[in-house]
Structure 1
């Protein structure tokens, strides 16, 4: 998923084993995106950090598939439909606790939550509450956002009204950049919090469900989200302005039909998934830098 999503929104993936080795069908929005991914990835190796420790070097041999729309009946470690968060999970992918045990990459999945924790790297431009709201609201209603500084970087908690919306947003935005040129790259995990407590609306925290926000208090730091009750995050009042230049380019909000095809060195934008087209990944050197295009399958 991470390898192919660098070129566009991946609609569906199905994997299987044949005599030639491990194979996968990868569906993008359109043929242009699929072609860009094929040209950039064919003959290259999957980055070591994406592979399990017990797996050796994996190279990609990519051809076009005769399929135009993959049928995925269940979400499992073998197949995934990223356009349908309500698709049932295969019984084989559920552990004894009733939780989904593995993801499409075979790794153990983290517990899902309606609150996402977004870490922002390569932050050459200012990322404000309004910017975050625009990016994350493309996938559903954002109820609350709280920003804070941690380990020399900026992080944010984004609360949706339900878990399903958060899952879709995480899948679509993980690893992608807010601005052109690979700036302000998002790394997203699920938060242990379920309801953020925003006492005051300011430039570092906001409750979008409050019709009449209170007047900001004098400047105070945002409290550490990892302290206190693990079920609730309390954002303090105050204001913290970031003195960083805004870029000329910006985030392309999802919506309408269209796609973004990119080769190995394109820019990062996000557009909504429309129609489909496929490619086939089989066994077959090095990954280009991950950039984001728009959503079609590969065989």
Structure 2
């Protein structure tokens, strides 16, 4: 089967991303071999799953003649940062709809400041509106609110929160293809589920994908099934979720998680993003220590991003 291809509108992606073995005695003592799928090295401005999900959406934006892209995210959204960077590189206007009206009255954090520096226009909405952003009437109100006060009206190309839509899911199938023959289990941190949906579809028979949600709620399984049905017509691949490692919810950490991430960096010299990647690696270590992986299992962890500024 030939891996699907997606147009790459941005220059110089490093694909396929490297797979690096990690010499970690905490895994070795259980007979488990840990590998790192270094998607964080794909592109300096759009690392990890952000490249894989945004590239097909950016191609669709330009192909349809849109000059502006609108998307959604929280105050620390890696997706917003990546979209803003992509807009700068391609000369596209970008609008970020940010969860939390109260944030409009506060100094911008480093992530949102980076978005603005890359040319993104931020539009803050209250949390109730944000929850209803998929509703056509709510989206129409948002589009009216961000319309330029003068000049010809333009409808932005809309990409959902986290970049997870049909195009993004299909773009992530290549991640699974790149890991065929390399691992028995592939772990990935999940926010909106698009990366796992595509990854699982791209793996070979006998491989399985394991998602570690970074937010609580127990709804992500339904979201992933819906994404796969929209992209492929049915559930694809062998995948499951372990919901225990979110540390209380999105954007939350614990002293133990931060200590784990710092220790991992010191052991292996790999920068560890705290809100997604640290939770993934901590989850994989916990599962290893619980005996979830038989001796001889090759476990690949997808490093989906870099530490926040």
Work out whether the TM-score is over 0.5. no
- Bin for the TM-score computed over the shorter chain: under 0.3
The structure in which a higher percent of residues are helix is: 2
Q: Which one scores higher on RCO, CA 8 angstroms, separation ≥ 6?
A: 1
The structure in which a higher percent of residues are strand is: 1
The TM-score normalised by the length of structure 1 is: 0.26
